[in-house]
Amino acid sequence: MTTAFPSSLYACPCSDLSSAPTPSSKRASIQPNTLELSGDQAFNPHSPRANYALYPLSDLLYCEECDEIRCPRCWTEEILYWYCPNCLFDVPSSTVKGDGNRCSRSCYNCPSCTTPLQITQVSHRDEGLLKPTDAAGGDETYVLQCQYCDWSSLEIDVRFSKPTKITEQLAKQRKARVSGKEDTAPSDKKVTAPDDVFASLVSFYKDQLDESGDSRNPYSNSPYNSPANLARIMSLYGGLSYNALKKTREKPQPMREALGAPEGLFSFGTDRSDTEIISRMQTSGWDATPTAEQQLSAPVNHDIRFADELWPSATQLRTRRAKRCKNCRHIIARQEPKVGNMRYKIRLLAMNYIPRLSIRPLHPTMPLTNPAFNLKPEMPQHELLQPHKAQQYVLTIRNALFETVKISLATPATTPGKVASRVTILCPSFTVGPAGDVWDEALSASAEPNSDGGRKAAMASLTGSSESSDRQPEAGKIWERTRNSTSVIVEVVPGALQQPPSIVRKTDKELADEELEEDDDVLEVPVYVRTEWEMEVKPGESVQAKKDANAMPGEKVGKELGYWVVLAVGRIAG
Amino acid sequence: MTSKPAAPSNRQSSSAIPLVKPQCKIHPSATVADKAQLIGPHVIEIDEGAVIHPHAKIKAEYGNIAIGKGTIVSEKAIVGLSEESGEDTTLVVGEGVSIESGAIVEARKIGDHATLGINCRVGEGAVLGKWCKIAPLCEVGPNEVLDDYTVVFGEGRKGRRVDVVVRDRKEVREARLKGTEMERQLLRGIIVDMSLIS
C-alpha cells in the first residue's frame, strides 16, 4: 500500500474491522496481560475493506473528552467561512445563501481550460479607419485573458471599460445582447416567429414581475431573493397577522404563466427552425460543441450549442471547515477565522496523545533514506524479503503523554491473508517513560553509559564498538529504552508466496483463492496496542460520565486505549 | 558555448556517442550563451538576433537544425532529434519562436512566432503552423500537423483550439511581437555572447 518500507498505519477503533481481541477461552488460566489472538479476530490488512480503515498517524485526530481516536469517518465537519480561492476574500454566509456560492467580485474562469482569467488591457483601434490627428492615441479597454490557453473575452466580443466590477459589466453586455436579438426586425414572418414569441413572452414576464424590481442573480436558486417574493410566499398559507389571514380568504392572484399567444405562449411544433444550428454542427463536428461540464458551468452557458460561444463562469467559492467529534460534539480542530491565516486555534492531533510505533531492521543492509530527500524521481529500490529466512526488526514505541504508559502488544502468530508469515514479539508487555521538556532530561542523571561526555564515551565512539552491536536479542527483554521511547525486537519469518504443490487436487475455487492479487506479497503485520496510564483529575475540570464519575479532583484515574496498527515491513520475493 | 563532451544525457541514446563539435553557421548578431550546448556532427544554423540561453541543448546528432531570426531558446530546452530517423532531415525553427525552458522539440518544422510552453513535448516529424501556442506540459504527437494559430492546451482534439483573436486582430499580434522584442533586448543585455570565441 505504501511505497516506502517500513511504515506504519493506524486503524481507527470506529471501524468494525478493528474489534478488540478477547482473551482466548481455551486457556485454563487466563492471565489478563497476555492476549491470545485467533486468526479471524485479528485485523486483516489485506482485506479490501482495510484500505478504508487504515490511516497514517498524521491524518488522525483525538478527542480529549471521549479519550478516543477520531478518523475522517468519525468526525463531522462544519463550515467556518466561505472564501474565493482567487481573490482570497471572505464572503459572509448570508451573501452565499442569497447569491449562490460564486465570487461576486471579478474572478472568472476560462470556459475552455477553467483556469482563472486575468484582466488585461488592450488597445482599441479599429482597422481601416483613418486615425484623426487629434485622437487620444487608441483608448484602452480591458478584456479577460487566460494565461494558459490564450482564450480571451474578445472571442465572444466582450470588452470592459474599467477593470473593476466585471460582474456588472458582463451582466449588462449579456442583457444587451439578449434584448438586441429580440429587437432585430423579422425579415420573414415564418422563420422568425420564434423571435416574436420570445419577445412577447419576455415582456409578459417582465410585467408579472414588475413588483420585485431587484436585479436577478443568475447563480441563486433561492426563491427568497426579493422582499416581494418572500412576502408572497409567506402569505401563501396565511401570513403572520389577522389581516393577512383575512386577505388569503379573498383569492390572491399568484403569479401566473402565460395563457395564450398574445402573452407569448409558444407550443413546441415541428416547424422549429434549428436547421442552422444542425447544419453548423454537421460541418464542425462533435468537438465544436461544449461538453456537459462546460454547459453546466454557468447558467448563461446552459443553452449554448457551440464551444466558441461559451461565456466565462464565476469562480466557485471554497469553504474552511472545523472538525467535531461525532459523539461528544467537542471541537477537535479549528482554524483562525481570518482567511489567509493557517494557524490552528484548536488542534488535537492523535500523535500528541497516542503512542507512536515505528519499525526498522535490526541489521540494516541498506541505508535508511527518508523519502523526502530523494533527488531522483524514481522509487528507491527496496530489498525483497526472502521467504523462510528469519528477520529481526526493532519496534520503537514513542510516548507522547506526560505520564508513564504501560503498553501491551498482541499480534497473531501468523499474519492473516494469503501469505502466512510468522511473527513473534519478543517482549510484548512493557512500560514507556513520559515525554517531557528537554530540561528534564538534562537535569536528571542519565542512565546510559555511553551518553555522558566522559572518557568512556569518547573511547567507545572512537573505536566504534559498543555493546549494542554485539548484543543478541533475548525473549522477554527490552532492547533499548530512552526517556520517552522503548524498543523491542520483533522476529518475522516471511512465508512463501506460493503454496508447495500438494498431492491432493485442488478445486478451481481453491486455486482461484490462492492466486495472489496486487499487494498480497507485502508483509503487513497487524499489532494490537493496548496502552494504560493514569491521569490526574485536575480540580475544576469537568468530570466526564461513567468511569470518572466517582473520582474526586486530585485523585488518579486509570485510562486505557486500544487500537490496531499495521506495520508494513516489506515485499516478499518469489 | 561549449562543444566539448558533456555528461551523457539522461535520455535513451543507443551508444555513448563522443560529443562532436558541430559545424555552426552562427550569425554575428545572434547571442549564444557560454554554457549552451551545441552538439554535432550535423550543421547548426542560427540566424540573426536569436538568443540561446545557457544550458540549452541544441543537438544536431541525427539531422541539421536551423534556428530562425529572433528565436529564443530557453535553458534546459532540447532541440533536436533523439533517434535515428532515416532520411537526412533538417529541423527548422521559424522566426520569432519562443521555446520555453524544458521544452523537448523534435518537430520537423515550427512556424513563425510560435510559443512552445514550459516542459512541453513536440514529437518527431510534427509540423506546427505560425503563431501556434503549446501550453505548458502539453504534448504534440509525432507527425501531427497543426494549422496556423492553433492553441494546444489539452489532450486530443478537444484540447486544440484555433485562436481567432490572434488570427483576426492585428493589434494583438503586434502587441505580442513587441513583447518578444523587449524580451530579446533584455536577454541580450544579460547573456554574454560567446559564439565568436572558441
Tens digits of residue pLDDT in A203-216 = 888 887 765 555 55
Query: Across the interface, do B169 and A154 touch by the CB < 8 Å criterion?
Result: yes
A37 with A108, same domain: the answer is no
Among A146, A150, A145, A147, CA closest to A160: A145
Cell numbers found for residue A288 = 465544436
Q: Is B10 on the interface with A (CB under 8 A)?
A: no
Query: Across the interface, do A113 and B153 touch by the CB < 8 Å criterion?
Result: yes
- Of residues B67 and A441, more confidence is placed in B67
Q: Is A291 on the interface with B (CB under 8 A)?
A: yes
Give the H or E element holding residue A143.
strand A139-146
A270: Cβ contacts below 8 Å, ≥ 6 apart: none
Question: Cα separation of A277 and A283, whole Å?
Answer: 10
B145: Cβ contacts below 8 Å, ≥ 6 apart: B126, B127
What is the mean pLDDT of the segment spanning A240-261?
68
A491 with A565, same domain: the answer is yes
A208 with A179, same domain: the answer is no
Q: Is A151 on the interface with B (CB under 8 A)?
A: yes
Question: pLDDT (tens digit, 9 = 90+) per residue, A376-421?
Answer: 666 666 778 888 888 899 999 999 988 899 999 999 888 888 888 8
The pLDDT value recorded for residue B72 is: 94
Residue A64 in domain: no
B41: Cβ contacts below 8 Å, ≥ 6 apart: B20, B22, B23, B60, B61
Question: Cα separation of A233 and A293, whole Å?
Answer: 33
A182 with A199, same domain: the answer is no
* Of the partner residues B135, B154, B165, the one whose CB lies closest to the CB of residue A152: B165
A40 with A150, same domain: the answer is no
Question: Cα separation of B115 and B180, whole Å?
Answer: 10
Residue A49 in domain: yes
Location of C-alpha cell 515491513? A569
A180 with A201, same domain: the answer is no
CA dihedral of A314, A316, A320, A322, whole degrees rounded to 10: 140
* Of the partner residues A122, A123, A149, the one whose CB lies closest to the CB of residue B161: A149
Host domain of residue A159? 102-124+136-189+278-314
A17 with A52, same domain: the answer is yes
Residue of B nearest to A138 (CA): B171
Residue of B nearest to A152 (CA): B165
A309 with A421, same domain: the answer is no
> Is residue A82 exposed (0-12), middle (13-18) or buried (19+ Cβ within 10 Å)?
buried
Distance between B63 CA and the closest CA of chain A, angstroms: 31
Question: pLDDT (tens digit, 9 = 90+) per residue, A257-271?
Answer: 777 767 766 555 444
Q: Is A155 on the interface with B (CB under 8 A)?
A: yes
Residue A464 in domain: no
Chain B residues within 8 A of A114 when measuring between CB atoms = none
- Ranges of each domain in chain B: 23-197
**Between β-strands A485-493 and A391-398, what pairing exists: parallel, antiparallel or unpaired?**
antiparallel
Q: DSSP letter for A190, please.
A: T
A108 with A169, same domain: the answer is yes
What is the mean pLDDT of the segment spanning A339-363?
89
Report the sign of the C-alpha dihedral through residues B193, B136, B153, A115, in that order. negative
> Which of B153, B164, B166 to mutate: most A Cβ within 10 Å?
B153
Q: What percent of chain A has pLDDT above 70? A: 71
A37 with A181, same domain: the answer is no
Q: DSSP letter for A533, please.
A: E
Class of the CATH-defined domain B23-197: mainly beta
Query: Across the interface, do A123 and B175 touch by the CB < 8 Å criterion?
Result: yes
Chain B residues within 8 A of A127 when measuring between CB atoms = 170
Question: pLDDT (tens digit, 9 = 90+) per residue, A518-560?
Answer: 778 888 999 999 999 988 876 655 545 444 555 566 678 888 8
Residue A62 in domain: no
Residue A455 in domain: no
* Of the partner residues A127, A154, A291, the one whose CB lies closest to the CB of residue B170: A127
What total number of domains does chain A contain? 3
A253 with A289, same domain: the answer is no
Q: What percent of chain B has pLDDT above 90? A: 43
A165 with A288, same domain: the answer is yes
Question: Cα separation of A421 and A419, whole Å?
Answer: 6
Residue A183 in domain: yes
Average pLDDT for chain B: 84
